[in-house]
Structure formats: structure tokens, C-alpha cells
Chains A and B, each alone.
Chain A
Amino acid sequence: MSQHDRTHHAKIATGKGDPQCFKGTADGPPKFKVGDRVRIKHLPDIFYTRCQVYTRGAVGEVAVVTHESPAPEDESFGHVDHSEWFYIVRFKQRDLWPEYPEAFANDTLQTEFSERWLEAA
């Protein structure tokens, strides 16, 4: 990466914004749709990730298919050639935290994942 162009992001994002500048760059259509049940995979994250440990292994429901973008695990090292679909996933709090009180069983939490972290549940 010694020849990395440090103005690359400005060149592609100016006038469009980010993540809009990555529209149409994923390999295909989104693999999951709103309402799909998904499990968060437990992948290695030795260098960088934005996938929180508290969600690993949990099952939730796709709430929004948000946009296409390189995954942070790649983008943080300047690899922006490959994009993925992103999803906001909704979890029941009781499925994330075993001690979450039953009195508040309706409470939920949403957070976002790139497609590599999700598998059908």
C-alpha cells in the first residue's frame, strides 16, 4: 500500500456522500430481506471490526436493508474494491442479555452488520 492514493475517498465521495458513493458495487442483490431471521456469526476479528461481541451468536430479525459499502474490516486498511450489503438487525434484549428482566420482555436493540456477519437462522 505504499502507493495508496490518500485523496481516493474524496475523489469517489465528493458530490455523492459516503456510503452513497458505493451504490451498486456489491456483488449482487442483498441476500436477506426485511423480516428474515438471522444469526450473527462468530468470525475472527484479530485486526479490526465493528461487530460487537455482545451480538455474536444471537438471533435477530432484519429490520432495514440499509446500503452497500466496503465492510469496516476491509475499509480500515484501505481495501475499498469490494462492497457488501448492510443490515440493521433487531434483537429482543432478552436474547442478548440473559439477566435482562422478564418484566421488560418487549425491549429491543437494533444494530448494523455487513452481510459477512449474518447467516440464516
Chain B
Amino acid sequence: MAHDHDHNAPAPMVEEVSDFEALEIAVRELAIEKGLFSAEDHRRFTEFAEHIGPTPAARMVAKAWLDPEYKKHCLTDAIAASKAVGVDWLNPTGFGTPSDYTDLRVLEDTPTMHHVVVCTLCSCYPRPILGFQPEWYRTPNYRRRLVRWPRQVLAEFGLSLPAEVEIRVEDSNQKCRFIVMPVRPAGTEGWTEDQLTEIVTRDCLIGVALPKPGVTSNIPLPVHRAAKPAHH
């Protein structure tokens, strides 16, 4: 009946469900019927997975800034080094958390080289240590443009780097997962691990931002007064 629907009809008051969402629900319900896991198991795992954030990775970087031995460990065996920040990639599923591959690589920036991570194929991301991807990381726009115009895309994020700094794009297209270890910024001399952890935000770990003293993900944002406030 596609030919006679009303083109002026209001938008339907329902959520749009994609084919993949319908597929996920179907597979999940079959697995529950079969007894592979219960609906409550599924809810608990979802709650667990959605609570993972970038803090462990931020702490990993902060620790590495303070401890050269730990830094070496991160650069040679990041899966093992993750345990020091409370992330065991094999728990609770036994083979990747949440259902991710377990080969993490830490990309170390230097004063003359900056890394930035993308997955051109889909949205591969080290979820066990960073949590879920930001929406923009999954968009075709970011994926197709970052590999080809990295400086322009980084500039859109507010990061402009001089030509002397090599930009190295890491296209994460197989089983390796990546986080960026930025250079410890000036002005953080004598800081504690907790203080350093705060400035290593998610975007610094993807490589679209650099850590700065005073810039954290939980900083109070300025409130701008409306130019023409409404009076009720």
C-alpha cells in the first residue's frame, strides 16, 4: 500500500527499529527460550557493558606517565597491563569483554608524532577499557574522512597540529584494538595519578584531542545567558 499513503501524514509516534535491532531481539529471545542465558542475565550483562567507561584507560595512561616500567608493560602487553587498572579482558565472558577481541595495542605519541584511531570498516573500539563508542566514531563521515583528510577532521574537533608533527592514523580493521597514549602536557609537574587521570579524557584516548591541565570531562561548562530570554 506504499502507493496510496498520505504524504502529509504526521510522523508516526513509534520508535524506528532497524533490521539489526529486530535480529538482535530475535536471537536473544531464542537464546533465552533455549536456556543459554536468562533474561535477567542479559539485563545484568547489558548494565555491566553500558557502565564501562574510559576511566581505566585514562588511569593506564596516567600510571604510565609516572612509572616508566609500567609504561613499558603497556607498550609490550597491554592486555596484561590492563589488570593494573582493574580491567580483565577475559572476564566475565571468558573470551573478551564485552564480546570483543583481546589484543590491545597502546600507541605512544611523541612531541613529533600524534596518533588518531578510526575503524573504516565499522566501529572497532577497545570497549572493555573505553566503554561504548561515541556516536560520531561510528558515523561514515568520520570513518571515511579521517583516513584521507586527518588534519581537516582533527581541526573540526578543535585540534590543529603543525606540519612538523607527523599525524599517524591507525585504521583498526582487524582484531587489534588501540588506545592513544598522549604526551604528558606541560603544567602537570608534580601531579598525582588521580589528577593526571582526570585530564586524559575519552577523546584524548581516541586521539581527537590532547590532554590539557584544567580540561576534564567533568568540568563545569559555561552557561550563556539567552540574548532574548522568554518570559512566562
Contacts and interface: CB of A to CB of B under 8 A. Distances in A.
A25 interface: no
Interface size class of B (residues with CB under 8 A): 20 to 34
B151 A104 contact: yes
Given A10-B95, A17-B90, A64-B105, A88 B176 contact: yes
B150 interface: yes
Q: Which of B169, B175, B176 has the most CB of A within 10 A?
A: B175
Nearest to A17: B102
A75 to B, nearest CB: 10
B175 to A, nearest CB: 5
B94 to A, nearest CB: 4
A21 B95 contact: yes
B26 interface: no
Contacts, number: 105
Contacts of B151: 104, 107
Contacts of A51: 173
Nearest to B115: A110
Interface of B is mostly: loop
Contacts of B168: 90, 107-110
Contact of B169 (A10, A106, A110): A110
Contact of A20 (B102, B148, B163): B102
Interface in B92-112: 94-96, 101-103, 105
A93 B147 CA distance: 9
A9 B95 CA distance: 9
16 contacts: A9-B95, A13-B94, A17-B95, A17-B102, A18-B95, A20-B103, A52-B121, A67-B103, A86-B176, A93-B150, A96-B147, A107-B150, A107-B151, A109-B168, A111-B170, A114-B174
